[in-house]
Amino acid sequence: MLVTRQRYRLFMSYTLTLPCGCIVYVACHPETHVAHTRVVEQRGPACRTPRHEVGARVYLWELLPEPHHGSEAVTQI
């Protein structure tokens, strides 16, 4: 029996796969659709990050890509 409409359920949560292979569950507020909690759902087989234990919270800055400190050319359009 489906209690919640599909349109409503689409914004409630989702999962992300980190570069290390860990799967992170992201919970969103049902009315604002803003992500408020990120938790490691499954640890990647080759993950070397000690904090990535199942059930551990993942902070937003951990999801951001690594900064590149090279002298790469910037292309302007």
Residue 34 in this model has a pLDDT that exceeds 80: yes
Instruction: Report the amino acid identity of residue 59.
Output: Y
What is the domain partition of the chain in residue ranges? 19-63
Give mean pLDDT, residues 1-18: 64
Question: What long-range pairs does 70-77 form, CB within 8 A, spacing at least 24?
Answer: none
Q: What is the pLDDT of residue 71?
A: 53
- Res. 44: pLDDT tops 90: yes
Q: How far apart are CA 37 and CA 24, in angstroms?
A: 10
User: Three-state DSSP class for 75?
Assistant: coil
Report the pLDDT averaged over residues 12-18: 88
Question: Which tokens in the block code for residue 30?
Answer: 């049902």
In this prediction the pTM is: 0.67
Can you tell me the distance from the alpha carbon of 26 to that of 62, in angstroms, rounded to the nearest whole number?
13
